[in-house]
Amino acid sequence: MRHYAAYGSNLDPARMLAYCPHSPMVGVGWIEGWRLTFAGEGEIGWEGAVTTIVESPGDRVFVSLYDVHPWDAAQLDEVEGVPAGTYQKLTVRVSTLDGEVPAWVYVFAGYEGGLPTTWYLSEIANAAEKAGAPDDYVSDLRRRPTRTASPEA
């Protein structure tokens, strides 16, 4: 499988181009029955929690679809923390205007919970906006609660 469904900061095509120069964005869609959330606060050395998705009937997550070239797949796994066990890859179905497409996502390998920093949440909302997410989706992202970074950050 070559399609990757990005839901966090990798929604931004320019960011993905830097990580995966051989892997173009091929569309957008929704992962139905899942919701965007945060996890790992205090577990992985970040100031706040990181983005993930969890199954949640009735919800959906906006994604960018990328056709990931094999040359870029290992790089993307490394960036997303698969070798370290931070994230794991799952296959989901993405609903697009052309029908359903199987794609992989990275899901945090731990429990849901915690708040992102204001900066991190802003990065995700900006990336969603750049990918063409609907205005209400981006607005909902921007209204989520955040944590204050510690003074030593």
Annotated binding site for substrate: 4-9, 120
- Binding-site sequence positions: 4-9, 120
Asked if residue 32 lies in contact with residue 97, where contact means CB atoms within 8 angstroms, the answer is no
Neighbours of 85 (CB within 10 A): 9
Active site residue 55: no
Catalytic residue among 41, 43, 78, 80: 80
For 38-59, b/e burial (b = at least 16 CB within 10 A) is: bbbbebeeebbbbbbbeeeeeb
> Which residues are part of the catalytic machinery?
80
